[in-house]
Amino acid sequence: MTEPAPHDADASVLAAHPEAQSVDLILADMNGLLRGKRIARSALEKVQQSGVCLPMSLIATDITGNTVEETGLGYDIGDEDRVCRVVPGSLRHVPWTAQPTLQALLCMQDMQGQVFAANPREVLARVVERYRARGLTPVVAVELEFYLLDSLLSEDGRPRTAINPATQRRNDSTQVYYLQDLNDFRVFTDAVAAACAAQSIPADTAVAEYAPGQFEINLKHRADAVAACDDALYLKRAIKAVAADQGCQASFMAKPFVDQAGSGLHVHVSVLDEQGRNIFACTPEQPVDVLRHAIGGLQQRADDCMLLYAPHANSYRRFVLNAFVPLNDCWGFNNRTVAMRVPYSDAHNVRIEHRIAGADANPYLVTAAVLASMLDGIERRCDPGPPVVGNAYEQTETRALYWRDTIRDFQASDFVAEQLGRDFRHFYGQQKLKEFLSFNREVTTLEYEWYLRHV
């Protein structure tokens, strides 16, 4: 059965929801934050034909919502507007709002009326096009971990896990993959599942993860990497909205608790040839060269792309020992201690699971970096070395990561400029440098505790 054409799919959504009288138009910025406008349903047809104007600077606003003047997209160009077009086929029903609402994605254009090349969704689309030019199709699935938190902070301003509806207490122990936790929070997970079904988000499984209050919801794989990341964007919005509706807060912060596991964004990738065959098909005993070369590319381009995998100050708190977080660039079969895992599967469904990125990262940019690195490795026939068997933490050298270093590596990367775009490298690099400098100007509570009285 073939999928309906994008415009037909949008028409079907409109026909199915005559009660919805407003539409949220969503533009995902480089941090993955959702910006845009809310319009009346009656204005949608005009917007679909002519677009809607938004400031170009929105793409590279910092995490606090301020324009990063160093990008050249603010005062230097008079904070100009650009036309944003509705992405055909992206119209979805929003099931959690008090007033019936629809939502759709936007794509920003440049001055020439072409797609703005630094738009994260377009950065990924260009990488996918390079696969298509070679007769290849990446198949992608995204896994997202998150914490379900109390909507109110503690007295000292710290987050707290949500109260367990069954026990009326906060969970304080780690019960990984514990079905009782899923049962206790079933009202939440069922509401998320219903929201996904209403929006055609292909959510697959939900698990209680490696810390109290931590969950993971997986998305089914798609032979359309851009659509797979659209799904991730919609899923995050749905999870946050359902949590808020139930008096909680869902957070995709990489490391909200110093003594608990961080939250990751894992990207699963296989690649099909023109006949629809998985080019990674093999067994652990006889891995095919193309699989090894793709992993080799991920290894060799990890430093170039680390800022995309770990974009924020807090991202680097996640990289700690014995927390199922990669502290290396090694690989292995059915091994969660490595960075590039080849999960257990039959020979025909072999895939790479990239485990470095945090849940705080932009899924479009993470996937773009992963796919570009894999294709680079395939073309250059990169050697990843032998797969690790057993505990990779004990067999490999721990990699120390620092935000300032990854910003420097990103800004100096010819690979990023060539594969993801020179303008994108400039805008994103300047955005992150501004955030780094702003973050390090702050005087923290810990500094007062350590130094105010004692020095």
Domain boundaries, the chain: 6-116, 127-420
How confident is residue 272, by pLDDT bands cut at 50, 70 and 90?
very high
Residue 427's identity, in one-letter code, is F
Distance CA 433, CA 27 (A): 22
In this predicted model, what pLDDT tens digit does every residue of 392-414 receive, in sequence order? 888 888 888 999 999 999 999 99
What's the CATH fold of domain 6-116? Ubiquitin-like (UB roll) (3.10.20)
Which string of b and e fits 229-246 if b means at least 16 CB within 10 Å?
bbbbbbbbbbbbbbbeeb
Q: Is the pLDDT score of 2 beyond 60? A: no
Helices 225-245 and 363-380: crossing angle in degrees, nearest 10, is 150
In this predicted model, what pLDDT tens digit does every residue of 216-264 receive, in sequence order? 889 999 999 999 999 999 999 999 999 999 999 999 999 999 988 899 9
Q: Is the pTM of this model over 0.85?
A: yes
How confident is residue 4, by pLDDT bands cut at 50, 70 and 90?
low
Coil, strand or helix: which one is 405? helix
Lookup: tokens for 277: 């065959």
Among 82, 33, 23, 9, residue whose Cα is nearest residue 365: 33
CATH, range 127-420: 3.30.590.10
For residue 169, count other CB atoms closer than 10 A to its CB.
9
